[in-house]
Amino acid sequence: MKTIIEPFRIKSVEPLRQTTREERERFLQQAGYNLFLIPARDILIDLLTDSGTSAMSTEQWAAMMRGDESYAGSESFFRMESVVRDLTGFKHVIPTHQGRAAERILFTVLCRKGHVVPNNTHFDTTRANIEFTGARAVDLPTPEAANTQARLDFKGNMDVAALERLIAAEGAANIPLVMLTVTDNSGGGQPVSMQNIAAVKQTASRHGIPLYLDACRFAENAWFIKLREPGFAEWTPKQIAQKMFSFADGCTFSAKKDAFANIGGLLCTHDDRLAIQETNLLILTEGFPTYGGLAGRDLEAIAVGLEEVLDSDYLRYRIVSTGYLGRHIADHGVPIVEPPGGHAIYIDAGRMLPHIPKQQFPAQALAVELYRHAGIRSVEIGSVMFGANAQHELLRLAIPRRVYTQSHIDYVVEAILEVNERRRQIRGLAIESEPPFLRHFSARFRQI
């Protein structure tokens, strides 16, 4: 059989609420044309993020009933720890309430002013947490990633030669860690090859620098390696993931992505001394080391989710269904970041709407139009989010895991193609008010 189906059936449903175009126009005005400010009840299909928005399985819900809510030494922690150890091999497994809490603890312990942290591309919370310590966050993506239209297998790779140059220029003593984000979220959800992970590790360790994975979407990355990298076709996703982690000295992890959990994160390391410093900080703000800001039931959901996500039927469906959205719009003339990523499709709004200058936020204008036309929420990743640092004007359509069916995605495709038909009528936006930082969450716009 050629048809790839959703490898699950639906036991519990949440109704979607239809709204009229007139209502959506009013909601847009009330929200200052910022989709973060529209209540979720007024959204039909929500592609704002794949984070914390997964549908949990019957096994996850069942496990949650077994959650041990003991303050210290919870059974749920030991179950989660053993799953994470088996997968990653890391000696110390520290739970946190979400990924950015793990980042804050790691960088507080390792970084200070004058330090530099390289990554293929830092996610915005990673960058912000590094900069908060006074250190500098540097992106070293492979140069080919600059061309959104290049169809390469591993566009998430780090530029290893640039890493060498950075270490030579800054001095290894000023680089407390090297990070690799798998998959590369800010770079279009593109995967990193095993060869690149190995090469980055080799370079870092030659200078005595530890390598950390930002491992939110490790399973999607593992599946791309299985599909695209010679030598891995016969490996299971778990074996590939174990191999990826074997190159790392530690990881940060948001369980809100590939662990199918609605909340949760992890900080892992082999280093005993570091783990003591990290758990000391954990106790200060997150909680005791056997729950770290989570309920016992959340730890159970993560433990089950981490095993479910490595199922080949699921990963095949996941990557094919993201590609389905990408191909159906790109092959009908909508420019996307090629090739389709793992968790999201990124429309290159700068290319799609060349009549809107970047000072008038083409990707934000497209987000507004897609909501007005069809009730779909997406997110701008461009000049609103990154200001003058924006490389591209992208609109991200992130796909929550196991939530929407193919007919929902067909609706999204139809809506995007209809909006594309009359793209020349789309007008730009001007900022009316904005906060001093992270302006994309609360800025208000007006139509030009």
* Closest separation in Å from C-beta 427 to ligand F0G: 27
- Specify the residue, 110 or 167, whose C-beta has the smaller distance to ligand F0G: 110
Please select the residue that binds ligand F0G; options are 77, 90, 107, 123, rule is CB under 6 A: 123
Q: Which parts of 36-87 are beta strand (E)?
A: 45-46
* Closest separation in Å from C-beta 100 to ligand F0G: 3
Cβ-closest residue to ligand F0G? 99
Please select the residue that binds ligand F0G; options are 54, 119, 125, 322, rule is CB under 6 A: 125
Query: Token pair for residue 423?
Result: 């793209």
Q: Which parts of 158-302 are beta strand (E)?
A: 178-181, 211-214, 250-254, 265-269
CB atoms within 10 A of CB 133: 18
Three-state SS for 315?
A: helix
* Closest separation in Å from C-beta 59 to ligand F0G: 22
Cβ pair 219, 310 in contact under 8 A: yes
**Residue 440 interacts with ligand F0G (CB under 6 A): yes or no:** no
Please select the residue that binds ligand F0G; options are 139, 214, 229, 258, rule is CB under 6 A: 214
What does the angle CA 321 – CA 325 – CA 327 come to, to the nearest 5 degrees?
105
Give the phi and the psi of residue 115 in degrees, each rounded to 5: -80, 160
**Residue 126 interacts with ligand F0G (CB under 6 A): yes or no:** yes
**Residue 120 interacts with ligand F0G (CB under 6 A): yes or no:** no
Q: Applying CB under 6 A, which part among 119-127, 188-196, 327-335, 418-426 lies near ligand F0G?
A: 119-127
- Specify the residue, 34 or 254, whose C-beta has the smaller distance to ligand F0G: 254
**Residue 49 interacts with ligand F0G (CB under 6 A): yes or no:** yes
Cβ pair 60, 238 in contact under 8 A: no
C-alpha 438/C-alpha 51 separation (Å) is 18
C-alpha 351/C-alpha 336 separation (Å) is 9
Cβ pair 189, 344 in contact under 8 A: yes
Please select the residue that binds ligand F0G; options are 98, 193, 196, 364, rule is CB under 6 A: 98
Give the phi and the psi of residue 92 in degrees, each rounded to 5: -110, 125
Number of residues in contact with ligand F0G under rule CB under 6 A? 15
Please select the residue that binds ligand F0G; options are 34, 51, 76, 360, rule is CB under 6 A: 51
Q: Scan residues 247-286 and list those touching ligand F0G (CB under 6 A).
A: 254, 256, 265
- Specify the residue, 232 or 253, whose C-beta has the smaller distance to ligand F0G: 253
Cβ pair 209, 176 in contact under 8 A: yes
Q: How far is CA 100 from the centre of its chain?
A: 12
Task: Please report, as ranges, the residues that interact with ligand F0G according to CB under 6 A.
Answer: 49, 51, 98-100, 123, 125-126, 181, 185, 214, 216, 254, 256, 265
